[in-house]
Amino acid sequence: MMTDLLHPDELKKVDPVFGQLSFDDHEQIVFCNDKDTGLKAIIGIHNTVLGPALGGTRMWNYNTEWEALNDVLRLSRGMTFKSAVTGLNLGGGKAVIIGDAKTQKTPELMRRFGEFVNSLGGKYITAEDVGMETSDMDLVRDVTPYVTGVSESRGGAGNPSPITAFGVYMGMKAAAAFKFGTDKLEGKQVLVQGIGHVGASLVEYLTKEGAKVLISDINEDRLQEVSKKYGAVVYTGDDLYTANVDIYAPCALGATINDDTVYKINAKVIAGAANNQLADENRHGAILRERGIAYAPDFLINAGGIINVYAELEGYGKDEIRRKTENIYHTTGEIFAHSEKNGCTTHQSALRVAQARIDARKQEKNA
């Protein structure tokens, strides 16, 4: 029975790719399928004006293929602006593998995915993301040079989580300076939502400075582990968005700032590691601005990870990685100043600065 299939005329009306809300003039979308390994993946290449599209591979058990496509389109677009606003000569790309990373990921599947990456000839360079480990990137490296985030023994820059967290910490301090008149976080109450590799590293930076850190996560064992290690307090309230804290740091999955939460948030500053924190970039960004909440654009302050893997391509060491990541502080301050001067949201300011750099490079190429 094939009653569920759409008639070709109906399919045209659906516009499943170019009609996606997250489609933003992407250059290329690659659908990867391999029956033998069970691989089903999508690679999104948003823009390559500044350089090859670099972005991680995420393995997630999406409910629908539509959801997976929407995710890769949003994430790849974000990578374009992340690299541009940070001053890196990279474009934006991302990949998603549909499946459960705990039960369906195999060495054969990862190598087959690497072969698809290799077929693009360097237009897309992959890296580690949710559901991936450094060992997975090593498997991809077996079949293609177009991968970063490999183990240090294979020429990699090492685990990007601590440097990603450092960038978020720098962005948070810049946002605090804008909102509170000082970048000192000692005594400030900070709620960190999501304490995976990056979130836990952020907790370490914050507690070392003397911030009062609250933590929230769906993994109870992880909560107890991080609480014990850093002295952070586990948040036990009914609704973390209503918590009376100074700073909210979303470090789990995206879109936590949405119609249900945007008016609840009591924090005066939002600065976290999660991608695509604003469910609706323009509307929710505008509401935060109207409410006087200082929002540090996610794609700017979580750029430490891409700076870390960019080092593998450019050949610079850990000191330069740290210096470039520390500069996120200054860039974030400039974005807040740009936002105030132009009467727009910080997210829009960061996008405009990034787009201006892309446009300038495009003009150079066309000259």
> Which residues does the annotation place in the binding site for NAD(+)?
194-199
CA distances in angstroms from 72 to 58, 91, 136, 278, listed in the order given = 9, 15, 19, 16
Q: Which of 358, 361, 359, 296 is nearest to 330 (CA)?
A: 296
Q: What is the DSSP string of 156-178?
A: ----SHHHHHHHHHHHHHHHHHH
Asked if 255 and 274 count as a contact pair (C-beta separation under 8 A), the reply is no
Helix (H, G, I), strand (E, B) or coil at 140: helix
Helix (H, G, I), strand (E, B) or coil at 285: helix
Residue 94 annotated to the active site? yes
**Binding residue ranges:** 194-199
d(CA 326, CA 333): 12
Q: Between helices 161-180 and 197-209, what is the axis angle to 10°? A: 50
Half-sphere exposure of 153 (CA within 13 A, CB side): 3
Catalytic residue among 94, 123, 188, 268: 94
Q: Which residues are catalytic?
A: 94
